[in-house]
Amino acid sequence: MKNERDEQFHQFVVSRRAALVRTATLLTAGDAHLAEDLVQSTLTKLYVAWPAFQRADNPDGYVRRTLVNALTDERRRWWRRSERPMAEVPDRAAAEHVNGDVSDGLRVALKELPPKMRAALVFRYFYDLDVADTADALGCSEGTVKSQTARALDRLRAVLGTNPSLATL
């Protein structure tokens, strides 16, 4: 029999898991296995801390922080190493590849960024979070977000060349 926590968590997973996987996939630069791992760890942590999550002023921010923490410090995921991984990562459609387009180089460039710098880029330029919300997600200052995103864009330009979409950022 499910209790209230179980019911709420179930609804949360049904409604939010797909988006979490997308975010995690970006945060891991397209690594589907690690993304699934991060999502599992994040959801487990949310379930354990469900009352705190429910009381959070900014639930979306709470989820982002949890996800970023899972990414940036494996040892912070206290129980993850003792978890039994799923035998196989569930099937899901692979991200579309278009030969020669910016996503190929972008994936490589993202992978070379440090995790928090990558996360700053994703939150600022994919999710359009403002600097304050990005800083909250990363657990750092707004100044750090600005410098991290600037450096991330510099690195992308170095890898991708003079792509017009980066020139306007």
The residues that touch other proteins, with contacts defined as CB under 8 A, are 6, 9-10, 13-14, 17-19, 21-23, 25-26, 29-30, 32, 40, 43-49, 52, 62, 65-66, 68-69, 72-76, 78-79, 81-83, 86, 90, 92-98, 101-103, 106-107, 110, 114-115, 122, 125-126, 139, 156, 163-166, 169
DSSP character for 79?
A: T
Instruction: Let me know if 60 is exposed, middle or buried by CB neighbors in 10 A (0-12, 13-18, 19+).
Output: middle
Q: How far is the CB of 92 from other proteins (least distance, A)?
A: 4
Q: How far is the CB of 53 from other proteins (least distance, A)?
A: 9
Q: How far is the CB of 70 from other proteins (least distance, A)?
A: 9
What CA–CA distance (Å, rounded) separates 151 from 128? Answer: 18
Provide the CB-side half-sphere exposure for 121 (13 A, CA).
26
Other C-beta atoms closer than 10 Å to the C-beta of 89 total 13
- Map tokens 């912070």 to a residue: 76
Q: How far is the CB of 139 from other proteins (least distance, A)?
A: 4
User: Which SS3 state, helix, strand or coil, does residue 169 take?
Assistant: coil
Q: CA-based Rg of the chain, rounded to a whole angstrom?
A: 17
